[in-house]
Amino acid sequence: MRTGRLLLAAVLVSRGAVAGEAPHPELKVTLSPARAAQGGVVEVVATSPWPLASLVLVDGERRVPLAPDAGGSRFVGLYGVDFEAVPGERKLLLEGRDAAGVEVTGPALLRVVARRFVVQRLTVDPRFLEPPPEEKERIERDRQEFARAFASSGPDRLWSGRFAKPTEGTPGRNFGARRVYNGRTRSRHAGRDIASPSGTPVAAPSSGRVALAGDFYFSGGSVVLDHGQGLFTMYFHLLCLDVKEGDLVVAGQRIGAVGATGRATGPHLHWAARVLGARVDPAALLSLPRVP
């Protein structure tokens, strides 16, 4: 067995040695879709001519590890297009390495397409626009807790099957909306609002781990689910929470109920998603291919 492994390593090293003279055997990369709107989610599939120990997708400063299928020559991952990403061509690179350290690369070209975003005019309690000084500390603590949660995702995919809508009601068309509060432009809306009566159950759209569960100044009763590999989904303004941080949840499991807590103008679910820091349309997750 030991000899067999050494032999295999020797073969891989010799492949690397000839690679200096012949062109590198390139990875075959498929982006679905290859044209993605701002806020879109892209499935990346890379296949290698031989098994690899690791594979990362390189996007400028970002390095996104992809997960291998059994066998180690096919890798799958998600790439998120932030809703404020600049439209145009985006050159991505896949860098793989086998057990002997031989590098395999493959380019991928993504076209980011501009998307139209609505403008929403809202009237809210002025204390949410200019929070009172005594709340500053709490708001900063909330911000740090969210940052800690978003840094907690591991390399394993925790979800399988398909993503489902988290509650009853039609998701609003307000993803990425420019928000004008009390007559002044304040922010962009990084999620979709689903109007539902207070108390309507909210369910996990797929399996994952509870990365954050608590009460926050702006988002009220909130749950952040980590689905692994940097994919997070979020549920804000909840009336009550049925999970706590660290819990593992399965698809369809109740995590809370629709409410109007935090900065909310009425009962609704604020539903949002992130893929490795990119703020994406949570509804884009519903059309991802089924994973085993």
Sheet strand arrangement including 103-113: 35-37, 103-113, 88-97, 54-59, 62-65
The contacts of residue 244 (CB under 8 Å, 6+ apart) are 210, 213
Q: Tell the smallest beta-carbon distance from residue 48 to Zn ion (Å).
A: 41
Q: Tell the smallest beta-carbon distance from residue 225 to Zn ion (Å).
A: 17
- Dist CA 77 CA 69 (whole Å): 11
Task: Give whichever of 193 and 226 is closer to Zn ion, judged by the CB atom.
Answer: 193
Q: Tell the smallest beta-carbon distance from residue 193 to Zn ion (Å).
A: 4
| 224 φ, ψ (degrees, to nearest 5) | -115, 125
How deeply is 9 buried, as exposed, middle or buried, from its count of CB atoms within 10 A (0-12, 13-18, 19+)?
A: middle
- Of all residues in this chain, which one has the CB nearest to Zn ion in the complex? 270
* Cα dihedral across residues 45, 166, 83, 131: positive or negative: negative
How many residues touch Zn ion under the rule CB under 5 A: the total is 2
Q: Tell the smallest beta-carbon distance from residue 182 to Zn ion (Å).
A: 17
Query: Could you give the string, one character per residue 16-45, with x where binding to Zn ion holds by CB under 5 A and - elsewhere?
Result: ------------------------------
**Binding to Zn ion in span 265-284, by CB under 5 A:** 270
- By CB under 5 A, residue 193 contacts Zn ion: yes
Which of 10-18, 52-60, 125-133, 188-196 is the region at the interface with Zn ion (rule: CB under 5 A)? 188-196
Q: Tell the smallest beta-carbon distance from residue 273 to Zn ion (Å).
A: 13
Give kind and range of the element (H or E) at residue 4.
helix 2-19
Task: Give whichever of 99 and 260 is closer to Zn ion, judged by the CB atom.
Answer: 260
Q: Give the residues lining the site for Zn ion (CB under 5 A).
A: 193, 270
